[in-house]
Structure 1
Amino acid sequence: MAELLNLFFWYFHSAIILCTLLGWIDRRTRWIHRIVILLTWLSWFGGGIRYGFGYCFLTDWHWNIRRELGYAIPTDSFIHFLLMRVTGIHMHRYFVDGIAVLALVVVTGIAVYQVLHGERSSPP
């Protein structure tokens, strides 16, 4: 069961990241995108008040499962881990964190622009 949860978190968290980066493009996914970026801000900064800036509850849950499976946790950041795993390149954690924050700020700006200029989203 833990292995299935590990795979679930791997794919679900990756999908959340893709939605954060690209969800603003298609009008049908903009409402999901706005919810995801709001939850990301709340986790990174709201949860960050208690657990440290950039705290992600998904990463926390995923890492608990990986520990249960006996897997090494090479970094506190899922995005850093994902990039190392996919590319095989080890980038400095703070560089990756900076790019992640910059990306969140940019997509938030895009979402705010879309709302202010009446670009509609299409909820189900």
Structure 2
Amino acid sequence: MLIFLDYFLLFFHIALTAFNALGWAFERTRKAHLILILLTLASWTVLSPYFGWGYCPFTDWHWQVKRALGEGPLPGSFIKYCLDGCTGWDSDPVTVTYYTAVIGVVVFLLSCGVNWRAWRKSHHTQSSEIA
């Protein structure tokens, strides 16, 4: 069961990360993306006094499974884990955290922008239909 959970969390977390990075770009997923990126940024910041900067509950759960499987030591960041695993590097955790945060903020701003533009367009269309 632990092996199944390890693979499930790996693929789920990769999909979640990809959606966080790209979900704003597709009209059908923009609202869901805005909610998810807000939850992600809240996890990184609001929970940071309790768990540390950039806390992600999915990484925490995944690392618990990996430790139960005897894996370790594990980095503090899922992004570093994937980057190092794909490249064979031992990337600097501070640099990875910095770029992850910058990309997260940029993606949040993009999501706000496209959602605001869609909201304005729909409200402008409704108000012109009423008049």
- 1:73 & 1:58 partners in 2: Cα distance? 17
Q: Is the 8 A contact 1:24 1:30 kept in 2?
A: yes
Aligned pairs (5 A) from 1:79-118: 79-118=79-118
Which residues of 2 match residues 1-124 of structure 1 at below 5 A?
1-118=1-118
Cα displacement (A) at 1:93 = 0.5
Q: Pick the structure with more helix per residue.
A: 2
Q: Compare CA radii of gyration and give the structure with the larger one.
A: 2
Cα RMSD (Å): 1.3
Q: What TM-score do the two structures reach when normalised by structure 1?
A: 0.91
- The size of the alignment, in residue pairs, is 120
State the one-letter code of the partner of 1:43.
S
Q: State the Cα distance separating 1:41 from its structure 2 match.
A: 1.1
Identity %: 35
For residue 19 of structure 1, what is the amino acid of its counterpart? Answer: F
Separation in 2, partners of 1:7, 1:16? 14
TM-score (norm 2): 0.86
* Aligned equivalents of 2:95, 2:46: Cα separation in 1: 22
Query: Closer, same or farther in 2 for the Cα pair 1:94/1:51, shift >3 Å?
Result: same
How many angstroms does 1:62 deviate by? 0.4
Structure 1 stretches (4+) deviating beyond 3 angstroms?
A: none
Letter in 2 for 1:69: L
